[in-house]
Amino acid sequence: MRKIHSWPIFCQTRPAQYIAFYILYAISALVFLVIEGVFKLQFFSLTDSRVLALLFFIWGHNQIALSFFFASLFNRSRTALVIVFLLVLYSVLISVSSNFIFEVGREFPPWFLIWSPFAFYRALGNLNMMSYSPKLLPYKMSNLTSGDEVFRIMIFPIVEIPVYLGVAAYLSAVLPSEFGVRRPWHFPITEPLKALQRSSHTTTNGGVDPKSEASLAMAAAVNVDETRFEDSDVKAERARINNGQFDPKSPLIVKHMRKVYAGRGGAGPKLAVKDVTFAVEEGIVFGLLGPNGAGKTTLISILTGLYEASTDTGTLAGFDVTADTAEVYKRIGICPQFDILWDDLTVSEHLYFYARLKGISRPEEREAVNIAMANVALTEFANRLSKGLSGGEKRRLSIAIALIGSPKVVFLDEPTTGLDPEVRRLIWNIVNNAKQDKTIVLTTHSMEEAEALCQRIGIMAKGTLRCLANPIRLKQLYGTGFRVYFNSLVDDTPRASAFVESLLPAGWKKVDDFATNVSYEFPAITGLLSNLFEKVEQRKAENGILDWGIGQTTLEDVFVSLISENDANADAE
């Protein structure tokens, strides 16, 4: 059993796990009882079957609750399994020996019964002895009265069931783990109190607790060193958020988010996200771009409750990302970079599963599933197992999972990586149609995709949000206007470069120099293009140019120039 550390997921998935485990247990207990009945063992044939049924009924519940308790202590399910197996094995051995010491009729120490395997085996020992011993009568239902040892033995495991489950739920919420937001040890008291306070206050910011607003304001003291590579748009965005000049209904508000990782392999702590602050309005696809290691996944993992931030973080659909995770989970959809699907579940079964996880009510779930399938054109595959889907169909199913229940914020992590151009365009259409009443956060390494889908783009590098604007403004700010490129034979490249450079206006920049391909950016100047075109065409052969062209600056050019420049600066930190 895998440890699930996140409290809301614990609460939502454990009842289903509990029932599934109990059904498995009931089947195995029934098989066991039937086999014993077939062999007509005295213990089973003489002991009142209602007593046996009651004992096994209680034992099953107790053992599942106990296994939940142990699973909450260990990160690895295998460790929990081995420990529980050893504990039960030794308990049987100890119980068998203790039955020799404390024969039926002798007082069994009550503290012994606290450990439920001891209690269960003691009860079995008692019933067994009474069915065999010529001096005793087999156990009947009428014997089960207060004062009787079997009765007393049954009480202990019954009382323990809610205790084990309660402790398991508590430990799952407060123990540290790699994933999920850890709750403070006092959360069973403080969270209901906070919820009470919230419901009795009128708030000014989409339901945000004023207390957490105050604490966010305190965190507004920005570390100048951390933010020196931000451009003026990013700084203006921080000021906008600090001053409350944003639509309070914005589904995504990130405030002063910082994340410090403990160092890996002896290295010092790593500041992976540096005071990132922005808000995204409804109906917007927000592109989060950046090179590997920029901090995008960390930022998204904090917003989706997978990692804990090192400071306050902000709100999602009006709920505090760290404090109201249960509410946040109901309002987000996530399409991870790699499809997380079950081979043996059909398309519709996946969607029903996630519909229930998101708390969609039973009468509404069929419609929600149908809409989700229709949105991604998978209706005709409703009953197909996911292992029978192509890569593109699996991706569409993952997107449908993210979109089911119309969440306020959807995170799409590289949704089209590895897909053919046709499927990519299909997915772009899906994303574009889905954005109406929500915010979509898209991470991608494809500038073409960002340009096609995003109304706002933030480019991160080394934990800092470097720029934040719409694609056109980014090109105006960081693109120099036009680009000229050529290729030549290796020996001719210096000559060809010198020739092209002599024709370019002041302010040109070499942006690419790879093998025999060279490209430059240059500012747009009236009349320049026709002159450049004419001269290069006339003299390209004598300067060793095999092929050449002129184009406008793309988002890719912006990305390359911005990141290489700033990363060089940041490296010098």
Site of interaction with ligand ATP (CB under 6 A): 261, 264, 270, 272, 290, 292-298
The two tokens of residue 222 are 């920005």
Contact criterion met (CB below 8 Å) for 457 and 450 = yes
The two tokens of residue 93 are 């051995």
**Nearest-approach distance from CB 495 to ligand ATP, in angstroms:** 39
**Nearest-approach distance from CB 447 to ligand ATP, in angstroms:** 14
Contact criterion met (CB below 8 Å) for 525 and 483 = no
Length of the chain equals: 573
Burial zone of 25 (CB within 10 Å; 0-12 exposed, 13-18 middle, 19+ buried): middle
| Comparison of 453 and 465: residue with beta carbon closer to ligand ATP | 465
Contact criterion met (CB below 8 Å) for 121 and 87 = no
| Comparison of 349 and 414: residue with beta carbon closer to ligand ATP | 414
The two tokens of residue 501 are 């450079």
**Nearest-approach distance from CB 250 to ligand ATP, in angstroms:** 23
| Comparison of 298 and 493: residue with beta carbon closer to ligand ATP | 298
Residue from 450, 489, 491, 486 nearest 469 by CA: 450
**Nearest-approach distance from CB 265 to ligand ATP, in angstroms:** 9
Residue nearest to ligand ATP (CB): 297
CA R_g for the chain: 33
| Comparison of 127 and 402: residue with beta carbon closer to ligand ATP | 402
**Nearest-approach distance from CB 22 to ligand ATP, in angstroms:** 37
Contact criterion met (CB below 8 Å) for 467 and 562 = yes
| Comparison of 172 and 301: residue with beta carbon closer to ligand ATP | 301
Contact criterion met (CB below 8 Å) for 191 and 322 = no
**Nearest-approach distance from CB 126 to ligand ATP, in angstroms:** 53
Q: DSSP characters for 108-177?
A: PPGGGGGSHHHHHHHHHHHHHHHHH-TTSPPP-GGG-STT-HHHHHHHHHHHHHHHHHHHHHHHHHHS--
| Comparison of 298 and 464: residue with beta carbon closer to ligand ATP | 298
| Comparison of 101 and 568: residue with beta carbon closer to ligand ATP | 568
| Comparison of 292 and 502: residue with beta carbon closer to ligand ATP | 292
How far apart are the C-alpha atoms of 279 and 289, rounded to whole Å?
16
Dump strand ranges (E) for 392-438: 409-413
**Nearest-approach distance from CB 462 to ligand ATP, in angstroms:** 8
The two tokens of residue 26 are 């009931």
| Comparison of 145 and 292: residue with beta carbon closer to ligand ATP | 292
**Nearest-approach distance from CB 262 to ligand ATP, in angstroms:** 7
H helices of 175-231, in order, are 187-200, 210-218
Strand, helix or coil for residue 2: coil
**Nearest-approach distance from CB 251 to ligand ATP, in angstroms:** 22
For residue 346, the 8-state DSSP code is B
For residue 361, the 8-state DSSP code is -
